[in-house]
Homo-oligomer: A and B are copies of this chain.
Amino acid sequence: MIAHPVVRRARAALLAPLLVVALAAHAPAQADPLPSWNDGAAKRAILALVRETTTPNGPHFVAPAARIATFDQDGTLWVEHPIYAQVMYALDRVPEVVARKPELRAVEPFRTVLSGNHDAIAQLSMAELEKILAATLSGTTTQEFDADVARWLATARHPRWNRPYTELVYQPMLEAMRFLRANGYRTYIVTGGGQDFVRVYADRVYGVPPEQVVGTAGATRFTHDAAGRPVLVKEPKLLLDDDAQGKPEGIHLVIGRVPVAAFGNSAGDRQMLEYAGAGGAGRLMMLVLHDDAQREYAYGPAQGLPGTGVGTFPQQLLDEARAKGWTVISMQRDWKRIFPFEP
């Protein structure tokens, strides 16, 4: 049925306001969802992933239920230098732990930490730090632990910026997470750090609820407190070592799906990125390269800082990224702004 020109004009007049409304409704979606990213391969890769995986009937369409994006935390979502925030927390808790267990006072590495000698503390090995983590991250109920971490976060300050650690998050990554969520993705943190530690602030800081934080986890023991209430006590026994090969294992345990996108910044994220890549074409694997000594730090292949066991990023990983088509994010070139507090 072909309408008479007058009818068509009348229809057009009637539809015009609807079109305006429709266009207005679309306008926000056309604003730049990643304003802190400079135009470049990294920004375009994120935009392309979302476009391709949400285009119905497209070759790389992903059903909403399977839209999973995983993010390492330390060095990928927030600052990890000069040392992981969680290690700072553990060091700060040592006096309290020693007060409960005085026999530790004369034992290394606790003696060094109590000495207050910053140079000696900075020289502690990862094995010694792990002893401190095991002693300080256990022995309390999960609720006591949460409250203690929350108190610490409210007062602790990063030595360089003199700001709470939770302000030292990367604005471009917050935008990437929000953009993915606005397109049906669920954003998970998959961290070598402590699952319980990160859960305390992940919802507030990243918009990631507790059930979407996968991390290194100790066993917990179900028991009752003095008032007879059921509680879980944190045990000094490792349940899940969520780093390197442990990341795919943790993803399988907690999510049970292969991520469509994975973001990391170190050798500890390599297996997670490989695992996401196993999903085939139309996947996104990204590595943050810390190459901005002025605004943040330069380390790894950017060779700004000496190795401290934090954020190991060997040249080999950069080569693998190139060979496998993973996208490297240069903090210096790709990020217009690093932190939310910058003007």
Contacts and interface: CB of A to CB of B under 8 A. Distances in A.
A213 B256 contact: yes
A61 to B, nearest CB: 18
A326 interface: no
A65 B248 CA distance: 26
A239 B253 contact: yes
Interface string A274-298: 1101100000000000000000000
Contact of A230 (B196, B219, B254, B278): B278
A211 B245 CA distance: 20
Contact of A222 (B199, B220, B271): B271
A221 interface: yes
A277 to B, nearest CB: 7
Interface in A248-276: 248-249, 252-257, 271, 274-275
A254 B278 CA distance: 24
A231 interface: yes
A278 B220 contact: no
A104 interface: no
Contacts of A210: 255-257
B278 A249 contact: no
A196 B254 CA distance: 11
A217 interface: yes
Interface string A186-226: 00000000011001000000000111010001011110000
A253 B222 contact: no
Looking at A231, A232, A245, the one whose CB has the most chain B CB atoms below 10 A away is: A232
A231 B248 CA distance: 9
A126 B212 CA distance: 35
A209 B65 CA distance: 8
Contacts of A65: 209
Ranked nearest first, the 8 interchain pairs of A and B with the lowest CB-CB distance are A210-B256, A222-B245, A230-B278, A230-B274, A222-B248, A211-B255, A220-B249, A222-B271
30 contacts: A65-B209, A196-B256, A210-B256, A210-B257, A211-B254, A211-B257, A213-B256, A219-B249, A220-B252, A220-B253, A221-B245, A222-B245, A222-B248, A222-B271, A222-B275, A230-B248, A230-B271, A230-B274, A230-B275, A230-B277, A231-B278, A232-B249, A232-B275, A239-B239, A239-B240, A239-B253, A240-B253, A253-B253, A253-B254, A254-B254
Interface of A: 65, 142, 195-196, 199, 209-211, 213, 217, 219-222, 229-232, 239-240, 245, 248-249, 252-257, 271, 274-275, 277-278
